[in-house]
């Protein structure tokens, strides 16, 4: 069962990241359709997709159109009850739904003052009192969830759930704006930044689409706080070890070098997203 998932720019669309994680993290199959923020109004680009006017929007195999992130979570959980989108434990599931709902409707100061921008890390954004209040509330509900988790995993309720997918862009904001949090919240942020699915999304954000100036902030910058990627770079000439692109299976025509070895990919995007963070891509690391 393959879905069509409409998303916005990888670098900037926090809601698209949530929808993408709901598919990717729970190993569901989806064809990705990009709605670029730089091109024109998002609603205009989606005017022929049912009632959808925003990203992410999920088109199901039966034609159903689901165009809100929380609704996407519920619909996917209904259609894939064994995927683990919600915790099995009823009390944990109720808490996860509560956390997701608060995220979807709250934290407006944090979202307004610190829009997701995954290509940079600001070392000091001088957060307002309203942003600090949002951070304090996040720490409160995260600590409550962790105190009631039903397994020992790093996520809010132990195992990864839809609630964690919804807080992934928040982790990106906290890390990307160097916002002050306590040790427990910092550990939760670190888990997101190190999560291979989050790293794959960010590696695509680094190489796909233009920089959008309306997201730029005039703050001093620092290194990204997540795992340091393996050193790799694109090259023009050489003989790849692999006979097929690790993602598409097509003949390789675009090359990268890592640790003195050459690998090929079927197009520049496949190569460049891998160069950005090789370890984030299991299909590539199998070749290595």
Domains of the chain, residue spans: 2-79, 90-200, 233-287
Nearby residues of 224 by Cβ (< 8 Å), 6 or more positions away: 121, 175, 176
Backbone angles phi, psi at 221, to 5 degrees: -110, 160
Correct CATH for 90-200 of 1.10.260.30, 3.40.190.10, 1.20.1050.10, 2.40.50.140: 1.20.1050.10
CB contact at 8 A, 277 and 199: yes
Fold match between 2-79 and 90-200?
no
Query: What's domain 2-79's superfamily in CATH?
Result: Glutaredoxin (3.40.30.10)
Write down the pTM of the prediction: 0.96
- How many CA atoms within 13 Å lie on the side-chain side of 82? 0
User: From first to last of its 288 residues, what are the pLDDT tens digits of the chain?
Assistant: 789 999 999 999 999 999 999 999 999 999 999 999 998 799 999 999 988 899 999 999 999 999 999 999 999 999 999 999 999 999 999 999 999 999 999 999 999 999 999 999 999 999 999 999 999 999 999 999 999 999 999 999 999 999 999 999 999 999 999 999 999 999 999 999 999 999 999 999 999 999 999 999 999 999 999 999 999 999 999 999 999 999 999 999 999 999 999 999 999 999 999 999 999 999 999 999
Average pLDDT, the chain: 96
According to the model, what pLDDT value does residue 182 have? 98
């Amino acid at each position: 069962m393959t879905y069509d998932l409409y998303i916005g720019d990888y670098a900037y669309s926090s809601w698209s990241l949530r929808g993408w994680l709901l598919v990717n993290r729970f190993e569901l199959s989806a064809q990705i359709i990009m709605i670029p923020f730089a091109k024109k109004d998002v609603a205009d680009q989606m005017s022929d997709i049912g009632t959808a006017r925003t990203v992410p929007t999920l088109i199901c195999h039966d034609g159903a159109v689901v165009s809100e992130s929380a609704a996407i979570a519920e619909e996917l959980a209904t259609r894939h009850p064994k995927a683990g989108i919600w915790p099995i434990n009823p009390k944990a599931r109720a808490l996860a739904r509560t956390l997701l709902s608060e995220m979807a409707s709250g934290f407006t100061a944090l979202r307004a003052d610190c829009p997701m921008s995954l290509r940079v890390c600001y070392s000091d954004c001088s957060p307002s009192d309203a942003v600090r209040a949002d951070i304090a509330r996040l720490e409160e509900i995260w600590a409550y969830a962790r105190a009631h988790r039903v397994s020992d995993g790093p996520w809010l309720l132990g195992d990864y759930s839809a609630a964690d997918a919804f807080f992934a862009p928040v982790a990106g904001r906290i890390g990307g704006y160097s916002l002050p949090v306590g040790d427990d919240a910092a550990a939760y942020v670190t888990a997101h930044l190190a999560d291979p699915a989050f790293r794959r999304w960010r590696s695509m954000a680094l190489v796909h689409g233009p920089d959008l100036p309306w997201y730029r902030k005039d703050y001093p910058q620092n290194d990204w706080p997540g795992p340091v990627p393996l050193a790799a770079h694109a090259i023009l000439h050489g003989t790849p070890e692999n006979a097929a692109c690790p993602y598409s299976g097509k003949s390789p025509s675009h090359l990268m070098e890592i640790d003195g070895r050459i690998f090929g990919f079927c197009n520049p995007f496949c190569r460049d997203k891998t160069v950005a963070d090789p370890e984030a891509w299991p299909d590539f690391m199998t070749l290595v």
